[in-house]
Amino acid sequence: MLATIIEDICDEYDAFSSYSWVATTYPIGLSISQPFSGQLTNLLGRRYGLVLCLSVLAVGQLLCGLAPRLSVFLLGRIIQGLGAGCIGTITAFVETDLVSMRKRALIEGIGNITYGVTLALGGVYGGGVANAIGWKWAFRIQVPFIILDIAMVAFYLNIPQGKSRPIRRPVDYVGMVALLVVIILFQFGMNAGGSVFAWNSAAVLTTLILAAVGFLAFLFWEIYKAENPHIPVRALLQRTVAASQLSSFFSNFGNTSIMYYVPVYLEVLGHSPGQSGLRFIPLALCFALGSFAAGLFVKVTAKYYYINFPVQACSVLGAVMLCTMTQTTPSWAPFVYLGIYGAGSGGAYVTRLMGLLTSADKQHLAVVQSCSFTVRNTGTTIGQTISAAIFQNLSVNSFRSLFRGQPGLADRISHNYNRLDLLSGLEKQTAIFIYLRAARGVFFLAMSVLVAAAVSTFVMQNNELVDSPRERRSAEEKGELKELKKAKDEEPPN
């Protein structure tokens, strides 16, 4: 939804230079709240934890729909992220509690059909509402449905709470705040560099250096000092867990670049937000089908490793095709390219998840799941920040060169492509070319990080999926026999 109306939002607040802030405040909220969801369910239980999070989401949604200025809108987006982050992780906890390992992949596939359908509707809904009655109503209309959701969860949802008494652990406020500060400093430096300040300016260099130092300090605190780390770095270093998390980071990085800059590409060419939203329907539906197909394959074969190769290749292929788009690309091409990318992305989501679930220690499983959401959304935040920096720098520098004698016009055009109507003839065609070239620069970035996401999964272990105690004992015995054989082979000859 946001991807198709973000240009209208920036236009209303005259804040196209703040494009990345509009997009990333929500995942910043997600990154803060998700690791806290385990402690929240310990305090309130699954049911009332969800009620609280849905209430927070409704408040954020209402703020966005009523915001008189950009600062209020950004506050609403952060509050939305705080609520939505815990909703996703608590749901994942419930799935882990109730669904067997082999069926989990299929359940994820079925769940992603719902996700895919709503993803497809989101773009059309956002663009359609924005065209008809204004973009703020895209937020306002959702509030009554969230309230209905709160009532259903509070009075009808039956979630077993388990027999064990929850363990109360201290919240790592230092780690939480440190991660937030690092992300904000990094985003400010990348967003301002080349567009607001020169890259070698004191403001940009200082913020980026502080972000790097802060990140190292954050890692030191989480590894050596935190009693209950916000992100348990040690638990994430197991080979398959680390590979899955790294791939998730790169995948969300590339995904956000595609989701936010394909609409830019289309709307620069004259498509409305609603028409841009239609182009995402194949992505959403193919994401759902790819996820379901991968989940079904895993359920039938109890294997996830080998299906990972074709789905990763499909994801990369879709990104490669997006990089070929130009001003003369047929209007049907984005449908196909996004569909191919969506199918691969949906399947890859399942294989990464199964690698994570079969590799994490049982005692750390809930925590690792929470952190996987944080890692993914940190990838989204950093991906949007770097994508915006690349787009802004490629376009701003070119416009300043094109309109060398008219700096005011260069700034207006570079900060809002809806101002292209101020131009005509060759100047307008050149400006469109500049914007499309900047968008392609972002697509090349997305392709690169999706290749990194694919390569990261190739080092995952080929773990077996086991459900019953008998299967588990058999798998453990096989593992012990392999270890004994390996040790015997490594013994020196007498």
- For residue 150, give the CATH number of its domain: 1.20.1250.20
Identify whether 217 is part of a domain: no
Identify whether 16 is part of a domain: yes
Q: Which residues contact 95 (CB under 8 A, 6 or more apart)?
A: 104, 107, 108
Identify whether 198 is part of a domain: no
Please give the structure tokens belonging to residue 137: 């109503």
State the angle between helix axes of 425-457 and 308-323 in degrees (0 to 180), rounded to the nearest 10. Answer: 170
Please report, in tens digits, the pLDDT of each residue of the chain (494 residues total): 887 888 788 888 877 667 777 877 887 787 777 767 766 776 777 888 889 999 999 999 999 999 999 989 999 999 998 898 888 778 877 777 777 766 777 777 777 778 777 877 887 888 889 888 989 999 999 999 999 999 998 888 777 654 444 455 666 778 878 877 887 787 677 766 655 677 778 888 898 899 899 989 988 988 888 877 767 777 677 788 888 888 989 998 999 889 888 888 888 887 776 777 777 788 888 888 888 888 888 878 878 888 889 999 999 999 999 999 988 888 888 889 999 999 999 889 888 888 887 777 666 666 677 677 777 877 887 888 788 888 888 887 787 777 777 767 766 776 666 677 767 778 778 888 888 888 899 999 999 999 999 999 988 888 776 654 444 445 445 554 454 455 545 555 55
Distance between CA atoms of 375 and 372, rounded to whole angstroms? 5
Give yes or no for a contact between 312 and 334, defined as CB atoms under 8 angstroms apart.
no
CB count, 10 Å around CB of 41? 23
| Amino acid 472: pLDDT | 47
The owner of tokens 């915001």 is: 67
Give yes or no for a contact between 383 and 449, defined as CB atoms under 8 angstroms apart.
yes
| Amino acid 480: pLDDT | 46
Distance between CA atoms of 108 and 106, rounded to whole angstroms? 5
Distance between CA atoms of 343 and 286, rounded to whole angstroms? 5
| Amino acid 166: pLDDT | 47
Residue 481, SS3 per DSSP: helix
- DSSP 8-state assignment for residue 15: -
| Amino acid 199: pLDDT | 73
Identify whether 185 is part of a domain: no
| Number of domains observed in the structure of the chain | 1
Give yes or no for a contact between 5 and 135, defined as CB atoms under 8 angstroms apart.
yes
Residue 361, SS3 per DSSP: coil
Of residues 265, 248, 186, 191, the one with CA closest to residue 218:
186
Q: Which domain holds residue 69?
A: 2-158+228-465
| Amino acid 285: pLDDT | 85
Identify whether 354 is part of a domain: yes
Identify whether 494 is part of a domain: no
Please give the structure tokens belonging to residue 291: 């996820």
Identify whether 167 is part of a domain: no
Give yes or no for a contact between 79 and 52, defined as CB atoms under 8 angstroms apart.
no
Counting beta carbons within 10 angstroms of the beta carbon of residue 420, is it exposed (0 to 12), middle (13 to 18) or buried (19 or more)?
A: middle
| Amino acid 320: pLDDT | 94
Identify whether 353 is part of a domain: yes
What are the backbone angles phi and psi of residue 317, rounded to the nearest 5°? -60, -40
